[in-house]
Amino acid sequence: MKYKRILLKLSGEALMGDKSFGIDNKRLAQYSREIREIHDMGVEIAIVIGGGNIFRGLQAAEGGMERTQGDYMGMLATVINGMALQSALEVLDLKTRLMSAIKMEQIAESFIRRRAVRHLEKGRIVIFGAGTGNPYFTTDSAASLRAIEIEADVILKGTRVDGIYTADPEKDKTATKYNTISFEEVYKKGLNVMDLTAFTLCHENKLPIIVFDMNAPGNLRRVITGEPVGTLVNF
């Protein structure tokens, strides 16, 4: 097993499955089974989920809504997704904790770094909701920040694409995939891995990133065991 403690970043859109909005229960169940598989291997797991399947603050701002208000609404969407994933994991008898960057005592613990680390040490799966708790920061930034705070070995960014390409493979059929790439190369080539704030946080704190296809069964386990799945961004 190559990684002992990970932070898994999932997009809200990934939870939609084939739907155009909301949460696909089949996709949620699939992800939960994949997560249980690596949990049973002894991996300590933290998770950050986006909220784009429910609400995107940036799009609301483009429609005339105040950006700050839209971002807070987006944070609440991530908590809804976190609650859904928590329930799906608990159906599989996994112990979980949902921690929120915004206080909402009835449904989630407030984020405290030491408490989060203790949960991980006890084998609980920790889901971080509400982003960083601040507007103008994406859930990619939240994932990077939380991963650094809990001293994760790696960020695993689960997407619909099986890695980082020279161009968007869904638009450009000639795009080729990188198996490994350095942080400096990503900057130079202007590749879209994460938003720049999140990516720079990882770079400055020497935290590697693996971008992989979360929808392919078994991929999460393969990444954990060190198989060359997806694209590794390293130093």
Q: How far apart are CA 222 and CA 12, in angstroms?
A: 23
Cα Rg of the chain (Å, integer): 17
Q: List the CATH code of the domain at 5-234.
A: 3.40.1160.10
Coil, helix or strand for 200?
Answer: helix
Q: Where are the domains of the chain?
A: 5-234
- Identity of residue 89: L
Which pLDDT belongs to residue 121?
A: 98
Q: Are 101 and 128 a contacting pair, CB within 8 Å?
A: yes
Q: How many residues does the chain have?
A: 235
| Helices marked H in the chain | 25-39, 57-62, 67-91, 113-121, 139-149, 183-189, 196-204, 219-224
Q: Is 232 left (phi over 0), alpha (psi -120 to 50) or beta?
A: beta
Q: Is 8 left (phi over 0), alpha (psi -120 to 50) or beta?
A: beta
pLDDT in tens, the chain (235 residues): 899 999 999 999 999 988 889 999 999 999 999 999 999 999 999 999 999 999 987 777 788 899 999 999 999 999 999 999 999 999 999 999 999 999 999 999 999 999 999 999 999 999 999 999 999 999 999 999 999 999 999 999 999 889 999 988 878 889 999 999 999 999 999 998 999 999 999 999 999 999 999 999 999 999 999 999 999 999 8
Which pLDDT belongs to residue 202?
A: 97
Which pLDDT belongs to residue 115?
A: 98
Which pLDDT belongs to residue 47?
A: 98
pTM: predicted TM-score of the whole model, two decimal places:
0.95
Q: How far apart are CA 82 and CA 206, in angstroms?
A: 27
